Amino acid sequence: MLIAAVYRAIRSAPDAKWADISGHRRTWQYGTAFFFAIVLADAGAGRVAPPGTMDLRFPLEPGKYAVLQGGNSLVLNSFHHWFPSDRLALDIVKLNAFGSRAQSLAPANLTGYAIFNAAVQSPCSGTVELVEDDLPDNPPGVMDWEHPPGNHVLLRCGAVRILLAHLRGGSVVVAAGEKIAAGQPVGRVGNSGNTREPHLHIGAETAESPRKAKPVPLSFEGRFLSVNDIVEAAPRE
């Protein structure tokens, strides 16, 4: 009855009040349209390679892959966007024969994820600066907040540092100080560090002190990747 009384009161109000209600509705509609226009513009711009993009060799073994997170905008790369030197990083998963990243929605075993134990190769020629290889692989859904990159390899390629993170414990086959060639084996994908499921994290920054380092956008064999992009990595001779 209260609702009916409110409805009758509104209906009996002067036309000016109805005009005010319509005006508010139009304001809300225009505001909503403007918001979504900004979101779409941001998403579109995030798929365009920005100036200074560094082209690399795709760092994973032959197979079909999907970009879980990546791109040059808040909309497309929302998680990485809040970490200044890692703002343009990508998270990559492998797809199985059915086009899924895993055997089910959330497998309890790491082997249920298509990318687990996939071979990682150096995306560039340079020097190995840092290696971490003795952390355990977390069960799916369990995150190691104390060691965000987990097992990882940090490469120095020219004036840029490349981070390959969340590697499988004990799988790294390079050492700090070693010269490395593009395509050379580095390790295997695991689930170490601050991650809920196996994937390869790759990011780049200028080779400066941490406070001065800036994110470097990456492309792979001429292709700038963003979220939901699919990569078909073919065998190499």
pLDDT of residue 38: 47
Is 54-233 assigned to CATH 2.70.70.10?
A: yes
Rama region for 134: left / alpha / beta (φ>0; ψ in -120 to 50; rest)? alpha
pLDDT of residue 199: 98
pLDDT of residue 81: 74
With CA atoms as reference, report the closest residue to 115 among 233, 236, 15, 237: 233
Stated pTM of the model: 0.81
pLDDT of residue 70: 92
pLDDT of residue 91: 97
Q: Which residue has the tokens 């078909």?
A: 232
**Residues forming a β-bridge with 206:** 160
Distance of alpha carbon 121 from alpha carbon 60, whole angstroms: 6
Mean pLDDT by runs of 10 across the 237 residues of the chain is 42 52 61 49 63 96 96 82 85 97 94 98 98 97 96 97 98 98 98 97 90 91 95 90
DSSP codes of every residue in the chain:
-HHHHHHHHHHTS-HHHHHHHHHHHHHHHHHHHHHHHHHHHHHHHTTSPPTTPEEE---B-SEEEEEEE--SSTTTSTTGGGSGGGTT-EEEEEE-TTS-SBSSSS-SSGGGBTTTT-EEE-SSSEEEEEEE--PPPPPTT---TTSTT-EEEEEEETTEEEEEEEEPTT-----TT-EE-TT-EEEEB---SS-SS--EEEEEEESS-TTT--B--EEETTB---TT-EEEE----
pLDDT of residue 27: 65
pLDDT of residue 30: 52
Distance of alpha carbon 234 from alpha carbon 41, whole angstroms: 33
With CA atoms as reference, report the closest residue to 174 among 147, 192, 152: 152
Domain boundaries, the chain: 2-45, 54-233
pLDDT of residue 33: 53
**Residues forming a β-bridge with 163:** 154, 203
